[in-house]
Amino acid sequence: MRRKRRVKIVATLGPASSDSATIERLFMAGADVFRINMSHTSHDRLRELVGIIRALDVKTGRPIGILADLQGPKLRLGTFAGGPQELKIGDEFTLDADPTPGDRTRVYLPHPEILSAVEPGHRLLVDDGKVLLRCTAKDGERAIHARVEVAGRVSDRKGVSLPDTTIPIGAMTEKDRADLDAALDIGVDWIALSFVQRPEDLAEARKVTRNRAGIMAKIEKPQAIDRLTEIVELSDAIMVARGDLGVELPIERVPGLQKQMTRACRRAGKPVVVATQMLESMIASPVPTRAEVSDVSIAVFEGADAIMLSAESAAGKYPVEAVAMMDAIAREVEKDPTYRGIIAAQRSEPEATGADAIAAAARQIAETLNLSAIVCFTMSGSTGLRIARERPFPPLVAISPDPDMARRLSLVWGLHSVISEDARDFDDMVSRATGLAFREGFSKPGQRIIISGGVPFGTPGSTNMLRIAFVGADHYADL
């Protein structure tokens, strides 16, 4: 199966899309990677979903990616003795270490790390910013005294966000550690790490994964924006988590930050996923709004590697239709006459390495000679990532002998992943590349492709070779 677009689609699984028949329909409609939200998924259910997707791998003959999204720390209020409380502008309100149920003047905050970290002037957002408190004073590490600046209702266990405060806790809870171990044992391809504030937050996950899965840092905190370059460098991919980011930052800043993050990832050659509310109205409607269509198209024009559906595919009434609509929007954008110019204008100069120079040359030669495809042999995934960074206009086929790596690359812009044995020698490399280009529908007999790989064969990270080859009957007859 060959997709007719370069940007990839991530579809979240949930109550509306957890059976094997629906998952297959989502894949046929255009989903390239399936996201499993560990906030709502047990380990047994995770194993079941991964089994369904892996069976679909076999049935379709296509590597399909699986993303396990860790919950991350959840900061919440305690409870209220008299039920929900209405707070008015100017009211004084205290968050403290007393576990007694609260009232309209105070509430228990079961997070000593917040009590110690918040300083006067810092904001506390309750229930996704519906209520805004500003710290006016502190009672040591026992209480935060605040004034209500945005009125609203507070109730039991509502979430708390702290846009001005760097909280001295890691990005993984005990639940996350258990979920991470389970996800790695089951064999997912990507781990999304929530609540990343600093580059150091990635270290623990990196030690545990040991390259068994790619690490995707979700950018949803202002503190992460401040250290974005370092986080991009230490991550395998980035998710622009626009929902929480729009709560903790002025919402009008989010579009600009989305562009900054997309371009930073493109320069670094790291996949970037744009997420949250892309087709939100399709939770309840069979068609999106015009504004949502425009939102999706902007991410595609910007060259994002993937665009993601959350509740639309997990809990909405029209999960398959949402994926099909996202696929249709992406294909139409990529046919637009301005698309190539925008993508080309954002290309960065290659890094001063042989592998990056080879990748840039492959793209330039393929475009200059109008070759039918670029075929790269990649064991570690780095060759595929480097060529995808160039955003070439000819189709890009990545051949990997490692099924896990082939599935991981299913997230990357433009990469059509194929699982195949590594080349034994130059003749085998040409035969295998031309045969697969023909079989996968990228080339016809008489057309030419460009092949990229590394010598000696089978050595990860040794991209050092280009070859132009004709597709002919003798190259694919035995496949």
- The Cα–Cα gap between 402 and 421 comes to 8
Residue 78 lies in a domain: no
> Six-digit token pair at 426?
């130059």
pTM of the model: 0.93
3-state secondary structure of 453: strand
Q: Are residues 389 and 469 in the same domain?
A: yes
* Torsion, Cα of 417, 69, 237, 334 (10° steps): 60
Helices within 249-289 (DSSP H only) = 254-268
Are 326 and 367 in a shared domain?
no
Q: Tell which residue, 123, 86, 127, has the closest CA to residue 103.
A: 86
Same domain, 182 and 312: yes
259 is catalytic: no
Tokens found for residue 334? 């990529």
The answer on 148 and 102 residing in a single domain is yes
Q: What is the pLDDT of residue 477?
A: 39
User: Same domain for 144 and 234?
Assistant: no
Among residues 338, 364, 381, which one ends one of the domains?
Answer: 338
Check if the beta carbon of residue 157 is closer than 8 Å to that of residue 107: no
pLDDT score recorded for residue 479: 36
**Interatomic CA distance for residues 271 and 326, integer angstroms:** 19
Total domain count, the chain: 3
Look up residue 375 and give its amino acid.
V
* pLDDT lower than 70: segments of the chain: 458, 461-462, 473-479
**Of 111, 143, 161, which marks where a domain is finished?**
161
What is the helix (H) or strand (E) element at residue 238, kind and residue range?
strand 237-241
- Are residues 45 and 187 both part of a single domain? yes
Domain at 149, CATH number: 2.40.33.10
Q: What is the pLDDT of residue 354?
A: 85
Q: How far is CA 422 from the centre of its chain?
A: 28
Q: Examine the domain organization and report whether 61 and 101 are in the same domain.
A: no
Q: What stretches of 242-371 show up as alpha helix (H) in DSSP?
A: 242-248, 254-268, 290-302, 311-314, 319-335, 339-345, 354-368
Q: What is the CATH number of the domain that holds 211?
A: 3.20.20.60
Q: List the catalytic residue out of 8, 62, 123, 218.
A: 218
Helix (H) / strand (E) containing 205: helix 201-209
> Residue 433: which region, alpha, beta or left (left: phi > 0; alpha: psi -120 to 50)?
alpha
Inside any domain, residue 346: no
- Tell me if 270 is assigned to some domain: yes
pLDDT at 475: 47
Phi-psi category of residue 207: left, alpha or beta, with phi > 0 → left and psi -120 to 50 → alpha: alpha
User: Do 443 and 383 reside in the same domain of the chain?
Assistant: yes
Same domain, 243 and 334: yes
Catalytic option among 94, 165, 262, 276: 276
From 25, 54, 74, 76, the catalytic residue: 76
Residue showing tokens 């496949």: 479
The CATH number of the domain holding residue 434 is 3.40.1380.20
Clarify whether residues 106 and 178 are in a common domain.
no
Q: Is residue 347 part of a domain?
A: no
pLDDT per position as a tens digit, 19-37:
999 999 999 999 999 999 9
Q: Are 175 and 184 within 8 A, CB to CB?
A: no
Q: CA nearest 153: which of 80, 75, 250?
A: 80
pLDDT of residue 375: 97
If you ran DSSP here, which 8-state letter would residue 14 be given?
A: S
Please say if 104 is a catalytic residue.
Answer: no
> Across-strand partners of 274?
240, 307
218 as an active site residue: the answer is: yes
C-beta separation of 101 from 79 below 8 A: yes
Expressed as residue numbers, the domain containing 412 is 354-476
> Which of 338, 371, 389 finishes a domain?
338
pLDDT tens digits for 304-352?
Answer: 999 999 999 999 999 999 999 999 999 999 999 999 999 999 888 888 8
Residue 65 and residue 33 in contact, taking contact as beta carbons nearer than 8 Å: yes
Q: Which residue type occupies 175?
A: K
Q: Are 238 and 271 in contact (CB under 8 A)?
A: yes
- Percent of residues in the chain assigned helix, strand, coil, to nearest 5: 40, 25, 40
356's CB contacts (< 8 A; 6+ apart) are 350, 386
- The answer to the question of residue 3 being in a domain is no
pLDDT on residue 476: 42
Determine, yes or no, domain membership for 202. yes
Longest Cα–Cα distance in the chain = 81
Is 317 catalytic? The answer is no
CB 301 within 8 A of CB 342: yes
Same domain, 398 and 429: yes
> Is residue 296 helix, strand or coil?
helix
Catalytic: which of 35, 123, 242, 270?
35
Burial label, 174 (beta-carbon count in 10 A; 0-12, 13-18, 19+): exposed
Q: How many CA atoms lie within 13 A of 244 on its CB side?
A: 24
Domain assignment of residue 106, yes or no: yes
Residue 159 DSSP code: B
C-alpha to C-alpha distances, 117 to 13, 137, 165, 325, nearest whole angstrom: 36, 12, 7, 45
Contact 408, 214 (CB under 8 A): yes
Q: Would you say residue 80 lies in a domain?
A: no
* pLDDT at 453 (0 to 100): 84
Domain shared by 209 and 332, yes or no: yes
Q: Indicate the Cα dihedral angle 286, 292, 297, 300, nearest 10°.
A: -90
What would the DSSP string read from start to end of 98-145?
Answer: --S-B-SSEEE---HHHHHH--TT-EEEETTTTEEEEEEEEETTTEEE
